[in-house]
Structure 1
Amino acid sequence: MKAAVCTSLDGYESLEIMDVDIPTPKANQVLIRVQASALNFADSLIVKGKYQVKPPLPFSPGLECAGVIEQVGSDVTNFKVGDRVMAILDWGGFAEYAVAAEHDVFPIADNLDFTTAAAIPVAYGTSHHGLRMKAGLKKGETLVVHGAAGGVGLTAVEIGKRVGATVIATAGGAEKLAICKEHGADHLIDYRDGGVREKIKELTDGLGAHVAYDPVGGDLFTETLRSTRQDGRILVVGFASGDIPQIPANIMMVKNITCIGYHWGAYRTLDPDSLRTSFAELMGWIEDGSLKPHVSMTFGLDNIKEAYAALVGRKSTGKVVVTL
């Protein structure tokens, strides 16, 4: 099969398109004929050896995919050959075939195309589970989303609106803010103009937001901490800025703020049932049209370096998907 292969931890520029063996599923796994696989920020880290998962070289990156089940392991009971599915992967999505554990595989409706389905598991899974089950976002609350035009941020905007929250989106530039508005954001802040803290306060009558969703870190986290209301919650999702902030405990104490460290992927083993509950509601929203995943760019496997460049260079909004 054809696959994008990482042979050294020198970043995406060193990826090679190679012919490799089709993987064999274990007893609890399925083999998926991949139709599409989406890029995530973590994919830029894993090829540098900087992600928490460190596959042995050589390997194919790719943490999620959609396709058709080609083979099932002897212990698999919920799927059969021919089922249309999306899956969460440890790695291996940028290839014509991938293996996934049964508990990481989810059925998709017949009317959901594979490109859209591939964009769902990681980004939508992260935002839905995080906002609903970790941060406890409720109807009528105010949600701030940083990096709101990105692959994860835009899903948080959509889910926040679907829950019934007032959503304040921060992003860099008018074009990205327009995407946030299109996907439901009530208020827009261009962080490049500065004054994020003051603008959030102004939009919330001086009280601050109930919940903040932060995949960016750095200076924006500091702005967030100081513009979250008493008894608010901050969901720490990632550090796309490259700057990991240190949290002043005194501010947390005085304002009764809860800072929630959140690594969604850990729930695949910590509490897989909670992911199934999350995906059940999420897929219901997608199937009834309440959520419409945004894929801004697609690339063929042979152009995977260009796909990475678009993601890392922040040229994309929503999701970047590689089609096979």
Structure 2
Amino acid sequence: MRAIVVHEFGNYKDVAKLETLPVPEPGPGEVVVRNKAAGVSFAASLNIAGKYQRKAPLPYIPSTESAGIVHAVGENVTRVAVGDHVMCSVNHGGAAGFCKIEDVACFKIPKDMDFAVGSAVVTSYNTSYGALVRRAKLQRGETLLVHGAAGAVGMAAVEIGKALGATVIAVAGGETHCETARRHGADYVIDHRQEDFRERVMKFTDGRGVDVVYDSIGGDVTIQSIRSLAWEGRLLTIGYACGTIPDIAANRLLLKNASAMGFNLGHFFGWSPGGNRRQHIDALDEMAAGVLDLYSKGQIKPEIGARFPLPQFVDALDAVINRKVDGKCVIEMSEEDY
């Protein structure tokens, strides 16, 4: 099979190489999936550079999200069978013709679901669903502020927020990205390149503020988001795309009786200290089922903003980093990759 392989940490343009490797064999409790599509994310560039919070063991294959068809199963595998269409949370290894993973990392998807959509759902939509439903407990009638609303997880948060009955205020940069947020259901859209988002939020809410903030940006955005919270509001910290982890002044939370909470989907997948995906399989299945239910009802419509062939992995990552993609960027496999 063909795969993108990283032998040393560094700039992805220099160290991410297309190579030929043997097709993996499943062990007990493992599944080999014939990948049809895999997600490309900003986090992949940090991983390749060795700057991510969880360093990959070298050498490794990038991409932690894929979708495809079950090719082979090992002993004691009952969740899936050969021929099933699945979306997968891959420890590492999505950018390859085949990947080997634990059976609990596979979730069946409808046969009519685009594999590219499946690769978007497994991380981006499960992250937003888990954050908004499991952690923040967003309620019908509340107001949700979503940063990075044209990106993969932000778009998911906009759609899920609307499906839950919230009023959604989306923040994006530039008219193209703002239009994407509108297209996916945002009630109000703020162009942060042209407007102060806090001022606009307070205007939209008649000075009350928002009940929940979905923040994947970090830095000063987080600080201003706390100031944008309503009484007893909740801040969800999801990631730090701006590169700066903010220091939160506790008195800001005290004054509004507010909460700051994180959501790390990777913990459920066993990617953080103390994480064990087999311990969390019920929670993972619940989140995946919730997202797939919304999909079946047409309440979420994941957007694949760009598709690249496997050999153009570096170009795909370039497009993500330079914010040229709305929604999810994916690589798709061809017969040459198997």
TM-score of the superposed pair, with normalisation by structure 1? 0.98
1:36 is displaced (CA, Å) by 0.5
Post-superposition offset of 1:194 = 3.8
Mapped partners of 2:142, 2:245: distance in 1: 27
Structure 1: how far apart are the matches of 2:234 and 2:297?
30
* Aligned-pair identity (%): 39
Alpha carbons 1:296, 1:320 under 8 Å: kept: yes
Are 1:7 and 2:7 counterparts?
yes
Q: Deviations over 1:225-267 (max 9, x none)?
A: 1010110000000000011110000111111110002211102
- 1:312 CA drift (Å): 0.8
Equivalence for 2:282: 273
Provide the alpha-carbon RMSD of the alignment. Answer: 1.0
> Which residue in 2 is equivalent to 1:320?
329
Query: Displacement of 1:193 after TM fit?
Result: 2.1
Whole-Å Cα distance in 1 between the matches of residues 223 and 196 of structure 2? 12
- Is contact 1:213–1:237 with CA below 8 Å preserved after alignment? yes
2:163 corresponding residue in structure 1: 162
The corresponding residue for 1:71 is: 72
- The 2-side partners of 1:236 and 1:24 are apart by 38
For the Cα contact (< 8 Å) 1:40–1:63, is it kept in 2?
Answer: no
Which residues of 2 match residues 11-160 of structure 1 at below 5 A?
11-13=11-13, 14-160=15-161
For residues 260-306 of structure 1, what are the alpha-carbon distances to aligned partners after superposition, in whole Å with 9 as ceiling and x for unaligned?
A: 02211102336331121111121011122221110010000111111
Question: Counterpart amino acid of 2:287?
Answer: S
- Which residue identity lines up with residue 11 of structure 2 in the other structure? G
Deviation at 1:52, TM superposition (A): 2.8
| Bigger shift: residues 48-57 or 194-203 | 48-57
Instruction: State the Cα deviation string for residues 18-71 of structure 1 (Å, max 9, x = none).
Output: 001222222111000000001122211111112233222111101010111111
- Residue 136 of structure 1, CA deviation: 0.4
Render the CA deviation track for 1:127-160: whole Å, top value 9, x for unaligned. 0011001000011000000011111111000000
Q: For 1:25 and 1:140, how far apart are their aligned partners in 2?
A: 48
Aligned to 1:148, what secondary structure does the other structure show? Answer: coil
Inter-partner Cα distance in structure 1 for 2:85 and 2:114: 10
1:303 matched to 2:312: yes
Q: Equivalents in 2 of 1:93, 1:297: separation in Å?
A: 17
Please list every run of 5 or more consecutive structure 1 residues that lacks an aligned counterpart in the other structure.
none
Secondary structure of the structure 1 residue equivalent to 2:193: helix
Counterpart Cα distance in 1 of 2:156 and 2:11? 27
Which shows bigger deviation, 21-30 or 151-160? 21-30
Is contact 2:69-2:85 (8 Å) kept?
Answer: yes
State how far apart, in whole Å, the 1-side matches of 2:258 and 2:25 are.
48
**Equivalent pair of 2:222/2:246 in contact (CA under 8 Å):** yes
Does residue 181 (structure 1) correspond to residue 182 (structure 2)? The answer is yes
Higher alpha-carbon deviation: 21-30 or 137-146? 21-30
Q: Distance in 2 between matches of 1:69 and 1:52?
A: 30
Q: Secondary structure, in 3 states, of the residue corresponding to 2:145? A: strand
Q: Tell me, yes or no, if the aligned pair for 2:79 and 2:104 is still in contact at 8 Å.
A: no
> How far apart, in 2, do the equivalents of 1:69 and 1:4 lie?
20
* CA distance in 2 between partners of 1:157 and 1:12 (Å): 30
Equivalent-residue separation in structure 2 for 1:26 and 1:167 (angstroms): 45
Q: Which secondary structure does the structure 1 equivalent of 2:236 belong to?
A: strand
Partner of 1:243: 244
2:272 aligns with: none
Is the 1:145–1:153 contact (alpha carbons within 8 Å) kept by the matching residues of 2?
yes
- What secondary structure sits across from 1:192 in the alignment? coil
| Alpha-carbon displacement from aligned partner over 1:83-122 (angstroms, at most 9, x marks no partner) | 1111001110000000121111100111112121111111
1:210 paired with 2:211, answer yes
The one-character-per-residue Cα deviations of 1:195-242 (angstroms, maximum 9, x if unpaired) are 211111111110100000000011211110101011000000000001
Deviation readout 1:161-215 (Å, 9 max, x if unpaired): 0111000000100110000000000001111124211111111110100000000
Q: Is contact 1:12–1:44 with CA below 8 Å preserved after alignment?
A: yes
Q: Secondary structure in 1 aligned to 2:49?
A: coil
CA contact (8 A) 2:41 2:317 kept: no
Q: Counterpart of 2:103 in structure 1: which amino acid?
A: E
Residue-pair matches, total: 324
Residue 283 of structure 1 is aligned with which of 292, 296, 302? 292
